[in-house]
């Protein structure tokens, strides 16, 4: 009787342990599946729509003549590139700027500029180059108008624009106090006290042309416009060696969110994040047209370099039949960033109800929208493998436990039979 009680106790404990193990495994299995599927089973409703009017690609001439201003010594090669400056040409500048004739009402968007910065052919590997390149999103375009040649017209424009200095090119080919955001790639160190070696990048925001300006001579150190990055952002030397490089600007006006990435030729299709922030106020718009204009410029001084623009691609983020400032847009753009950029946006509970972008990794692979199912499929395979391992462990444990119980039962029965036979042999 005593052995029967022990056996029943062991059997009960074994069954309870198996049940508990199964519960833990099942919870883990379904919890993982639910948390992952919430982001990857349903595709975001955000759509990335190409803005042709704010983009440029081969052939260039037709698009340039309709939707862009051209300034300085810019050379247009219809089936090649847009050359802003040329190595060997000192004290040059060149620029292109969207003219607002097309759709420049860009709120939530990305712009990708593909460019090449090259030294003079045959120059030494470490030869000095200069001065740099700027990519801007600005509220002003009329400083390039052809009818600003008279002093009266220039003065009138400066008054109407809030003080934009017509004719100045010291912000890498653009007016030093141009309103808007400027991403400046510096390829020559003017200031000896600048510790970071070229090339490096700065991001500035000008909201008041009368009081704010970029300072070229100090490599931006004495800039009175708002400098968004704390220190110089170091870039790779390959940027100045003629390699094809892509610069990506992502701006979400609904969240006042700005993100800047770079893609080097030697890195393949991988993007490297350079900078991200939440702005305190939106990027400036043109007061009359409510538009923002995209510009790329380059400048040389005593030193020179060739700057070629290979393409400009602008895409906008939209939610069908919904206002881009709605709560639905906020939820969908969070899901979109996880799926498209491998990034997560979390809602921040503060007085302004801003979002906060939490960077998941400094380097990541970008897939186009039509590649999204493949990305989900890869993730699904990984999740399936994890689930299979957990399920296999549970089944194996159950099997081993059942074998143990069966062997134990046989052992007990065998012991009982042996004991009964032994008892039957005792003399009366």
State the pTM of this model: 0.73
Q: How confident is the model at residue 356 (pLDDT cuts 50, 70, 90)?
A: very low
Q: How confident is the model at residue 397 (pLDDT cuts 50, 70, 90)?
A: confident
With beta carbons less than 8 A apart as the criterion, state whether 77 and 303 touch: no
Q: d(Cα 324, Cα 281) in Å, to the nearest integer?
A: 17
pLDDT of residue 342 exceeding 80, the answer is no
Is 425 strand, coil or helix? coil
Q: How confident is the model at residue 358 (pLDDT cuts 50, 70, 90)?
A: very low
pLDDT at 341 (0 to 100)? 79
Is 276 strand, coil or helix? strand
Q: How many CA within 13 A on the CB side of residue 222? A: 7
Mean pLDDT of 156-183: 96
Q: Pick from 387, 393, 412, 384: which is nearest to 18 by CA?
A: 393
Q: Write down the mean pLDDT value for the chain.
A: 82
Written in H, E and C, the secondary structure of the chain is: CHHHHHHHHHHHHHHHHHHHHHHHHHHHHHHHHHHHHHHHCCCCCEEEEECHHHCECCCCHHHHHHHEEEEECCEECCCCCEEEECCCCCCCEEEEEECCCCCCCCCEEEEEEEEEEECCCCCCCCCCCCCEEEEEEECCCHHHCCCCCCHHHHHHHHHHCCCCCCCCCCECCECCCCCEEEEEEECCCCCCCCCCCCCEEEEEEECCCCCCCCCCCCCCCCCCCEECCCCCEECCHHHHCCCCEEEEEEEECCCCEEEEEEEEHHHCCEEEEEEEEECCCCCCCCCCCCCCEEEEEEECCCCCCEEEEEEEEEEEEEECCCCCCCHHHHHHHHHHHHHHHCCEEEECCCCCCCEEEECCCCEEECCCHHHHHHHHHHHHHHHHHHHHHHHHHHHHHHHHHHHHHHHHHHHHHHHHHHHHHHHHCCCC
pLDDT single digits (tens) 50-98: 999 999 999 999 999 999 999 999 999 999 999 999 999 999 999 999 9
Q: Pick from 211, 208, 210, 204: which is nearest to 226 by CA?
A: 204
pLDDT of residue 110 exceeding 90, the answer is yes
């Amino acid at each position: 009787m005593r052995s029967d009680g022990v056996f029943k106790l062991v059997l009960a404990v074994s069954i309870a342990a198996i049940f508990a193990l199964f519960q833990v495994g099942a919870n883990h299995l379904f919890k993982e599946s639910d948390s992952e599927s919430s982001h990857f089973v349903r595709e975001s409703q955000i759509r990335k729509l190409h803005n042709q009017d704010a983009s440029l690609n081969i052939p260039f001439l037709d698009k340039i003549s309709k939707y862009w201003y051209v300034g300085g010594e810019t050379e247009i090669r219809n089936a090649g590139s847009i050359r802003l400056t040329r190595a060997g040409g000192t004290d040059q500048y060149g620029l292109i700027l969207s003219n607002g004739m097309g759709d420049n009402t860009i709120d939530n968007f990305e712009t990708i500029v593909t460019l090449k910065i090259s030294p003079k052919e045959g120059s030494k590997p470490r030869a000095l180059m200069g001065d740099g390149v700027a990519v801007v999103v600005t509220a002003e375009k009329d400083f390039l108008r052809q009818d600003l040649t008279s002093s009266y017209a220039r003065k009138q424009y400066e008054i109407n624009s809030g003080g934009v200095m017509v004719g100045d090119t010291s912000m890498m080919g653009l007016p030093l106090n141009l309103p808007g955001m400027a991403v400046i790639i510096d390829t020559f160190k003017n200031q000896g006290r600048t510790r970071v070696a070229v090339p490096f990048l700065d991001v500035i925001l000008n909201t008041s042309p009368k009081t704010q300006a970029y300072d070229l001579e100090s490599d931006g150190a004495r800039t009175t416009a708002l400098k968004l990055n704390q220190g110089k952002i170091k870039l790779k030397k390959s940027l100045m060696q003629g390699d094809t490089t892509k610069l990506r600007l992502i701006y979400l006006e609904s969240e006042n969110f700005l993100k800047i990435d770079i893609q080097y030729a030697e890195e393949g299709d991988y993007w490297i994040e350079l900078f991200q922030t939440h702005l305190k106020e939106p990027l400036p718009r043109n007061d009359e047209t409510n538009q923002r204009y995209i510009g790329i410029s380059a400048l040389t001084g005593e030193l020179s370099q060739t700057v070629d623009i290979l393409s400009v691609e602008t895409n906008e983020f939209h939610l069908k039949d919904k206002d881009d400032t709605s709560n639905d847009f906020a939820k969908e753009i969070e899901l979109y960033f996880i799926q498209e950029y491998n990034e997560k946006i979390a809602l921040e509970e503060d007085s302004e109800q801003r979002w906060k972008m939490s960077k998941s990794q400094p380097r990541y692979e970008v897939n186009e929208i039509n590649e999204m199912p493949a990305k989900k499929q890869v993730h699904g395979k990984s999740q399936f493998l994890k689930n299979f391992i957990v399920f296999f462990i549970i089944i194996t444990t159950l099997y081993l436990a059942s074998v143990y119980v069966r062997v134990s039962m046989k052992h007990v029965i065998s012991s009982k039979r042996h004991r009964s036979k032994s008892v039957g042999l005792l003399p009366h």
